C-alpha cells in the first residue's frame, strides 16, 4: 500500500491510547445510514505488493450497529486508527483516517472491495479477505530488562546535523536518491556548514533471512556499499527502525531482534539510528517505553560501533526525563511537523519549557526541518530555521538537496545562525517576553554571549523590542550582530527594537 502523502506532512501513527480516547466521540459523530447488501461487520486483510518487492498487509475492522458504522484501520499492520467522516456513496461506504488516506469499500460476497486514495496522490485497489481474531491479535510482549541508566555514549556533543529522506521522498527513497543526496550535501556547501548525517527513513526493509538477519529490499541492493560511498565523502549514514514488529510504513521492525539488528547496522557501517514507536504500541503499554527503548540502547552500546540513538515516540511519557538513561542522544518532543506556518509555529513556540533537559549529548527534537519543501514563504522558512537553532534542535534538512533554490541553500547554510545551534555550551532558548504577537527568545552562549530572537507571529509587520535589563545576561553589549543581515548593529544604551516582518524574525548575537 502506497504511503503517498502531501509532501512534508510526514504522518505517523498516533498512540494507541490517543486513538482509543477519541473513539467514542468519533462514533457519536458518524452519520447513520441503512446497510445495503452484505453487512459491513467483520475483520479483513488487504494485501498489496510494492515495487520494492515487499507485500504490505492492511487490516480493517468495521462495525455496523443501528445504521451507524465505526471501525479501525491498521495501516500495514502498524496499529489501530479510528475511521472518520463516514458517508454513503451509492453502493460504497466512504471514510477517512488521519494519515490522509481515503477509503471506499463495498461488500462483495464474503470479501470487501477496497479502493484507497491518498491526499498526496496515488491509489491502491484490492480485495480484502476475512481474517480471524487470532490473525488480528497483536504479538506477545517480550520480557524487558530492569530499568537502569546506560552510560553516556559520548556522541552528539552538539545537536546532530544532516538530512532525512522522509519529508520529501517518503517511500520513494532508494539507493540512488541517497547517493545523490550525499553528493549534493557536499557540492552545495552543506557539508562545510556542518551537515554530516545522510539518513534513510522508513521503507528500506525487506524482511529477514533464514538466520533472522534484517535484509534491505530491492530499493537498496547493498547497504554496506552505500555506507562506504557516503563515508568516502566524509559523511555518515543513518537508518530507521521500530521496537515493534512493523515500522510506521508496515515494513520489518526490530521486535525480538534488537541485538541482531544492532550488530547488522554496525557491520554495514551505520552511524545513526532513528527508532520509531509505531507498532510497539500494539504490544507494550506506553508506561513501558523506557525499558523498550533501553533494550535497543543497550544493544547499540554492545554493537562495537558508535551509533547516535534517536528516539522517535512523539514526546510521550515525558521522554526528556529518561531519554539519556536509555542511551538516547535526542528524542522527539512532539507529533509530526507539517510544511505550513501553523504546524511549524505551534510546535516551535511550545518548546521552551523543555529547555532544562537539553545539553551536550542529549537534545530535545521538535522534528525535522521543512525548509525548501514549498509550503511556507522564504520569510517563514527563515523563522523556522532561526527558531530551531535557538532551541538547540537537531538540524535535519527534509528537502530535495539536489534541486535547492538559492534561497533555500542560503537559509540552510547560514553559518552565523548555525553557530547559535551548535554553540558548545549546549543551552536551549527560553521565551523572555511576549506581547501583541511578538515574542523575544534568548539563548545563552559560551563565553558569556547571548543569542536573541525577535519573532513576529502576526500576519502583519510589527515592532519587537526589549531592554538590556530584561535580557539580564549582558548589562550593555559592546557588539550586536544581525545574523540574517550579516552586519553589526549599533547598540542603544537601554535596549533594542526593530520592525519584524509578518511571520518573520530578527536574530541577534550580542557580546
- Output the CA angle 189-194-198, nearest 5 degrees: 85
Catalytic residue among 175, 201, 336, 365: 336
Give me the phi and psi of 275, to 5 degrees please: -120, 105
Closest CA to 477 of 498, 499, 505, 448: 448
Q: Within its chain, how far is the Cα of 391 from the centroid?
A: 16
Give the integer Cα–Cα distance in Å for 434 and 356: 20
The answer to whether the CB of 311 falls within 8 A of the CB of 112 is no
Name residue 81's beta-bridge partners: 73
Whether the Cβ atoms of residue 308 and residue 272 lie closer than 8 Å to each other: yes
Whether 201 is catalytic: no
232 to each of 110, 226, 341, how far by Cα in Å? 56, 10, 38
Helix (H) or strand (E) holding 441, with range, is strand 438-444
Adjacency order of strands within the sheet including 272-276: 363-365, 330-332, 308-312, 272-276, 236-241, 197-199, 161-164, 395-397
State how far the Cα of 439 lies from the Cα of 431, in Å rounded to an integer. Answer: 7
Strands 330-332 and 363-365 come out as parallel
Length of the chain: 511
Catalytic residue, chosen from 174, 276, 339, 421, is 276
Strand partners, 508: 452, 482
State the first-to-last Cα distance of the chain, in angstroms, to the nearest integer. Answer: 54
Instruction: Tell me if residue 276 is catalytic.
Output: yes
CA distance 14 to 387: 25
**Which uninterrupted H or E stretch holds 180?**
helix 175-187
Q: Are 157 and 391 in contact (CB under 8 A)?
A: no
CA atoms of 387 and 22, how far apart (whole Å)? 32
Q: How far is residue 242's CA from residue 378's CA, in Å, rounded to a whole number?
A: 34
Residue with cell 496522490: 121
Greatest distance between any 2 Cα atoms in the chain: 81
Which residues are identified as catalytic? 276, 336
Amino acid at each position: 500500500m502506497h504511503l503517498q502523502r502531501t509532501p512534508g506532512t510526514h504522518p505517523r501513527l498516533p498512540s494507541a491510547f490517543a486513538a482509543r480516547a477519541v473513539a467514542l466521540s468519533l462514533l457519536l459523530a458518524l452519520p447513520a445510514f441503512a446497510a445495503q447488501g452484505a453487512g459491513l461487520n467483520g475483520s479483513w486483510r488487504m494485501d498489496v505488493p510494492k515495487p520494492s518487492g515487499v507485500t504490505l498487509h492492511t487490516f480493517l475492522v468495521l462495525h455496523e450497529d443501528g445504521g451507524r458504522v465505526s471501525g479501525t484501520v491498521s495501516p500495514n499492520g502498524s496499529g489501530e486508527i479510528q475511521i472518520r467522516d463516514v458517508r454513503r456513496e451509492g453502493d460504497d461506504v466512504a471514510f477517512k483516517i488521519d494519515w490522509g488516506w481515503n477509503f471506499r469499500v463495498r461488500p462483495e460476497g464474503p470479501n470487501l472491495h477496497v479502493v484507497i486514495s491518498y491526499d498526496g496522490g496515488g491509489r491502491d485497489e484490492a480485495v480484502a479477505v476475512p481474517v480471524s481474531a487470532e490473525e488480528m491479535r497483536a504479538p506477545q510482549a517480550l520480557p524487558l530488562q530492569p530499568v537502569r541508566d546506560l552510560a553516556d555514549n559520548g556522541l552528539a556533543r552538539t545537536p546532530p546535523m544532516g538530512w532525512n529522506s522522509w519529508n520529501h521522498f517518503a517511500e520513494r527513497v532508494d539507493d540512488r536518491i541517497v547517493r545523490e543526496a550525499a553528493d549534493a550535501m557536499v557540492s552545495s556547501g552543506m557539508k562545510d556548514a556542518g551537515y554530516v548525517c545522510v539518513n534513510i527513513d522508513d521503507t528500506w526493509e525487506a524482511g529477514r533471512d533464514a538466520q533472522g538477519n534484517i535484509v534491505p529490499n530491492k530499493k537498496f541492493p547493498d547497504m554496506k556499499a552505500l555506507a562506504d560511498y557516503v563515508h568516502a565523502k566524509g559523511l555518515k549514514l543513518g537508518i530507521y527502525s521500530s521496537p515493534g514488529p512493523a515500522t510506521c510504513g508496515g515494513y520489518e521492525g526490530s521486535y525480538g531482534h534488537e541485538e541482531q539488528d544492532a550488530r547488522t547496522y554496525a557491520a554495514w557501517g551505520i552511524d545513526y539510528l532513528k527508532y520509531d514507536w509505531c507498532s510497539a504500541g500494539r504490544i507494550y503499554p506506553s508506561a513501558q517505553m523506557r525499558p523498550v527503548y533501553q533494550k535497543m540502547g543497550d544493544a547499540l552500546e554492545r554493537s562495537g560501533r558508535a551509533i547516535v540513538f534517536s528516539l522517535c515516540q512523539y514526546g510521550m511519557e515525558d521522554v526528556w526525563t529518561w531519554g539519556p538513561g536509555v542511551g538516547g542522544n535526542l528524542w522527539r518532543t512532539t507529533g509530526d511537523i507539517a510544511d505550513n506556518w501553523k504546524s511549524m509555529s505551534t510546535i516551535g513556540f511550545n518548546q521552551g519549557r523543555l529547555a532544562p533537559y537539553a545539553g551536550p549529548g542529549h537534545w530535545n527534537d521538535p522534528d525535522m526541518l521543512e525548509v525548501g519543501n514549498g509550503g511556507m514563504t522564504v520569510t517563514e522558512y527563515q523563522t523556522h530555521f532561526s527558531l530551531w537553532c535557538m532551541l538547540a534542535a537537531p538540524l535535519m534538512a527534509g528537502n530535495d538537496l539536489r534541486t535547492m533554490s538559492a534561497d533555500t541553500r542560503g537559509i540552510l547554510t547560514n553559518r552565523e545562525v548555525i553557530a547559535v545551534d551548535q554553540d558548545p555550551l549546549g543551552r536551549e532558548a527560553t521565551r523572555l517576553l511576549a506581547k501583541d504577537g511578538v515574542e523575544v527568545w534568548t539563548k545563552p552562549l559560551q563565553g558569556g554571549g547571548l543569542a536573541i530572537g525577535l519573532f513576529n507571529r502576526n500576519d502583519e509587520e510589527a515592532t519587537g523590542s526589549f531592554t538590556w535589563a530584561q535580557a539580564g545576561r549582558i548589562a550593555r553589549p559592546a557588539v550586536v550582530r544581525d545574523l540574517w543581515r550579516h552586519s553589526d548593529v549599533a547598540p542603544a544604551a537601554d535596549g533594542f527594537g526593530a520592525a519584524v516582518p509578518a511571520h518573520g524574525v530578527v536574530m541577534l548575537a550580542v557580546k
